[in-house]
């Protein structure tokens, strides 16, 4: 039975709720990548029970796959004692990222649970500025001395390789840990056992500083096509390495933030907090977010009413025009709501490429035109047959076309503008779309009526 990830989350949730623990245990342990995603999407009260069903090794592997904010939830759900065990097995750089997410009290408990050597490493990394290479690096690297023979170097790799982040590059340092060169595992393996590292190493080693920005280091690592890059302090002492997997995480995070920021969207986890505040937070929070946009709608409605009043003579001349006002306004409103919903969903799923926004806007405009032609034709024929006047049919049909095209454009354009200005798109887009659409729809309708029906 092939299930999508949403169905798998629901299935595991049902297993846990119904006490079918053995089934849930087998299901979670058979695919750890899926297990991480499932646990990430379970209700909070089921995260701990689900995690406890994983074998010890699997639990550690799943925990490492989770993002720091999700690891925080696991620790909260498991309790401090079990959470600290998970924390202690993380690589130092991952420990630092997690410590930045948890509350201060929890961070103190997690640090207190570490052995002295691991605690010293974590505190050293924490001492570097946020967003710096020092925060991203791991101190688990392989270093050699240039006086070593190849045989001695390989013996060291065999002993220390299990605790090193990578063994493909070995960095050569002097007695003060100053970086002097680099040698690959491949070169060591194919060289004669009695050759000396000094003669094989590359002294032109590329390194970064602990205070360099993570994004710059990540891009450099990608440009060089290296698996890792050494990190040195201001005295050129080797203090750690940054691996390609950590660099990829940084680049993905930067690209995501750039994409969100260009339209004023906040990351998903922050949007989740905003949503939670609107649902469960103080009533004043909801009022502060929603009331300004409703006032915009009220103002728009008043202006639309004033526009109708301005065409009072037109209505008195052809009373039947009043019959079709709700049709024009409702059809425009429906199209605008559809378009804004499609935009919001596609943006959230990453299906809209922001650098090609105008291409999507043009496509939505054409969709609005197609809908307008179909609906306008039907509405125009109905008005013509009902009123026995082809000009009335033209007024209604063309009004529907123009209004629906405009509404489809607004449905994409307004949410982006609202987000770019830093407002809540969920609360703000529809009221603004409705106000603009109502005012413009009324104006279009009566101007066409005056033109086709010969009203002066």
pLDDT digits (tens, 9 = 90+) for 166-198: 778 889 988 888 899 999 888 888 999 899 999
Q: How confident is the model at residue 263 (pLDDT cuts 50, 70, 90)?
A: very low
Q: How confident is the model at residue 265, as a pLDDT?
A: 46
Q: How far apart are CA 353 and CA 338, in angstroms?
A: 19
Give Dmax (Cα) for the chain.
Answer: 107
The average confidence (pLDDT) of the chain is 78
Q: Which two tokens stand for residue 27?
A: 């299901």
Q: How confident is the model at residue 374, as a pLDDT?
A: 93
What CATH number corresponds to the domain at position 126? 1.25.60.10
Is the per-residue pLDDT at 280 higher than 60? no
Is the per-residue pLDDT at 327 higher than 60? yes
Q: How confident is the model at residue 93, as a pLDDT?
A: 67
Q: Is residue 150 one of the residues assigned to a domain?
A: yes
Which backbone phi and psi does 264 adopt, to 5 degrees?
75, 15
pLDDT digits (tens, 9 = 90+) for 331-369: 887 888 888 878 876 776 667 776 678 888 898 899 989
Taking Cα atoms as reference points, which of 54, 105, 112 lies closest to residue 78? 54
Q: Which two tokens stand for residue 111?
A: 């640090």
Domain identity same for 101 and 185:
no
Domain identity same for 74 and 113:
yes
Is the per-residue pLDDT at 307 higher than 60? yes
SS3 241: strand
Which backbone phi and psi does 167 adopt, to 5 degrees?
-115, 0
Q: Is residue 433 one of the residues assigned to a domain?
A: yes
Domain identity same for 176 and 253:
yes
Q: How confident is the model at residue 373, as a pLDDT?
A: 93
Q: Is residue 137 one of the residues assigned to a domain?
A: no
The DSSP output letter for 202 is: B
Domain boundary among 220, 236, 262: 262
Domain identity same for 287 and 430:
yes
Q: 40-44, 111-115, 313-317, 322-326 — which one is most confidently predicted on average?
A: 322-326
Give the residue, 174 or 72, on which the prediction is more confident. 174
The DSSP output letter for 423 is: -
Cβ atoms of residues 12 and 41 within 8 Å? no
Is the per-residue pLDDT at 402 higher than 90? yes
Q: How far is CA 355 from the centre of its chain?
A: 17
Q: Is residue 275 one of the residues assigned to a domain?
A: yes
Q: 124-133, 376-385, 416-425 — which one is most confidently predicted on average?
A: 376-385
Domains: count for the chain: 3
Domain boundary among 102, 131, 160: 131
Q: How confident is the model at residue 427, as a pLDDT?
A: 53
Domain identity same for 9 and 70:
yes
Q: Is residue 43 one of the residues assigned to a domain?
A: yes
Q: How confident is the model at residue 455, as a pLDDT?
A: 66
Domain identity same for 109 and 214:
no
Q: How far apart are CA 409 and CA 357, in angstroms?
A: 12
Q: How far apart are CA 111 and CA 108, in angstroms?
A: 5
Domain identity same for 322 and 346:
yes
Is the per-residue pLDDT at 260 higher than 60? no
Is the per-residue pLDDT at 257 higher than 60? no
Cβ atoms of residues 416 and 263 within 8 Å? yes
Q: How confident is the model at residue 261, as a pLDDT?
A: 46
What sign results for the dihedral spanned by CA atoms 100, 104, 109, 111? positive
Taking CB atoms within 8 Å and a gap of at least 24, the contacts of 422-425 are 422/264, 423/264, 424/274, 424/289, 425/265, 425/344
Domain boundary among 74, 107, 131: 131
Taking Cα atoms as reference points, which of 94, 433, 416, 64 lies closest to residue 243? 94
Domain identity same for 382 and 258:
no
Q: How confident is the model at residue 401, as a pLDDT?
A: 93
Q: 4-13, 72-81, 189-198, 273-282 — which one is most confidently predicted on average?
A: 189-198
DSSP 87-103: HHTS-HHHHHHHHTTS-
Residue 78 region, left (φ>0) first, then alpha (ψ -120 to 50), else beta? Answer: alpha
Is the per-residue pLDDT at 286 higher than 90? no
Is the per-residue pLDDT at 137 higher than 70? yes
Domain identity same for 342 and 445:
yes
Q: Which two tokens stand for residue 277?
A: 């505040």
Domain identity same for 247 and 292:
no
Q: Is residue 136 one of the residues assigned to a domain?
A: no
Q: How far apart are CA 58 and CA 290, in angstroms?
A: 45
Domain identity same for 258 and 272:
no
Least confident piece of the model among 31-45, 229-243, 278-292, 339-353: 278-292
Is the per-residue pLDDT at 398 higher than 80? yes
What string of H, E and C letters represents the secondary structure of 129-175?
Answer: CCCEHHHHCECCCCEECCCCEHHHHHHHHHHHHHHCCCCCEEEEECC
pLDDT digits (tens, 9 = 90+) for 186-238: 888 899 989 999 999 999 889 999 889 888 888 888 888 888 899 888 888 88
Taking Cα atoms as reference points, which of 305, 297, 416 lies closest to residue 358? 416
Domain identity same for 248 and 306:
no
Q: Which residue has the tokens 């004043």?
A: 284
Cβ atoms of residues 433 and 340 within 8 Å? yes
Triad 344, 258, 426: Cα angle to 5°: 25
Contacts for 106 with CB less than 8 Å, ≥ 6 apart: 72, 75, 76, 80
What CATH number corresponds to the domain at position 313? 1.10.357.20
Q: How far apart are CA 354 and CA 216, in angstroms?
A: 23
What are the residues facing 241 on neighbouring strands?
A: 138, 230
Which domain does 66 fall in, by range? 5-131
Q: How confident is the model at residue 262 (pLDDT cuts 50, 70, 90)?
A: very low
pTM above 0.85, yes or no: no
Residues 420-447 as b or e (16 or more Cβ within 10 Å = b): eeebbbbbbbbbbbbbbbbbbbbebbbe
Q: How confident is the model at residue 275, as a pLDDT?
A: 53
């Amino acid at each position: 039975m092939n299930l999508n990830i949403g169905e798998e989350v629901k299935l595991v949730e049902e297993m846990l709720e119904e006490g079918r623990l053995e089934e849930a245990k087998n299901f979670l342990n058979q695919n750890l990548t899926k297990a991480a995603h499932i646990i990430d999407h379970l209700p909070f009260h089921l995260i701990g029970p689900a995690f406890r069903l994983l074998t010890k090794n699997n639990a550690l592997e799943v925990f490492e796959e989770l993002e720091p904010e999700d690891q925080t939830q696991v620790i909260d759900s498991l309790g401090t004692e079990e959470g600290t065990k998970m924390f202690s097995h993380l690589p130092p750089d991952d420990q630092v990222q997690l410590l930045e997410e948890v509350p201060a009290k929890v961070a103190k408990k997690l640090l207190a649970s570490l052995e002295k050597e691991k605690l010293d490493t974590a505190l050293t990394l924490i001492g570097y500025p946020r967003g710096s290479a020092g925060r991203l690096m791991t101190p688990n690297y392989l270093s050699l001395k240039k006086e070593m023979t190849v045989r001695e170097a390989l013996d060291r790799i065999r002993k220390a390789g299990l605790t090193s982040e990578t063994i493909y590059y070995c960095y050569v340092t002097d007695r003060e840990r100053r970086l002097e060169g680099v040698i690959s595992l491949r070169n060591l393996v194919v060289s004669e056992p009695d050759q000396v590292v000094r003669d094989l190493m590359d002294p032109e080693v590329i390194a970064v500083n602990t205070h360099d920005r993570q994004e710059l280091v990540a891009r450099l690592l990608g440009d060089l096509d290296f698996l890792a890059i050494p990190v040195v302090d201001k005295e050129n002492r080797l203090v750690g390495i940054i691996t390609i997997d950590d660099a990829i995480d940084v680049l993905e995070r930067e690209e995501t933030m750039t994409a969100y920021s260009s339209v004023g969207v906040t990351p998903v986890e922050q949007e989740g907090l905003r949503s939670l505040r609107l649902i469960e937070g103080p009533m004043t929070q909801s009022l502060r977010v929603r009331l300004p946009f409703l006032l915009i709608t009220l103002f728009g409605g008043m202006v639309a009413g004033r526009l109708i009043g301005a065409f009072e003579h037109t209505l008195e001349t052809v009373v039947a025009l009043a019959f079709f006002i709700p049709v024009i306004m409702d059809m425009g409103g429906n199209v605008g709501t559809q378009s804004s919903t499609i935009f919001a969903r596609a943006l959230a799923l990453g299906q809209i490429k922001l650098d090609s926004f105008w291409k999507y806007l043009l496509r939505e405009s054409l969709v609005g035109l197609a809908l307008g032609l179909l609906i306008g034709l039907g509405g125009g024929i109905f008005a013509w047959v009902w009123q026995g006047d082809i000009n009335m049919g033209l007024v209604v049909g063309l009004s529907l076309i123009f209004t629906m095209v405009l509404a489809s454009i607004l449905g994409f354009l307004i949410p982006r503008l609202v987000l770019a200005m830093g407002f809540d798109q969920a609360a703000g887009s529809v009221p603004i779309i409705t106000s603009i659409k109502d005012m413009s729809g009324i104006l279009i309708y009566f101007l066409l009526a005056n033109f086709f029906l010969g009203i002066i």
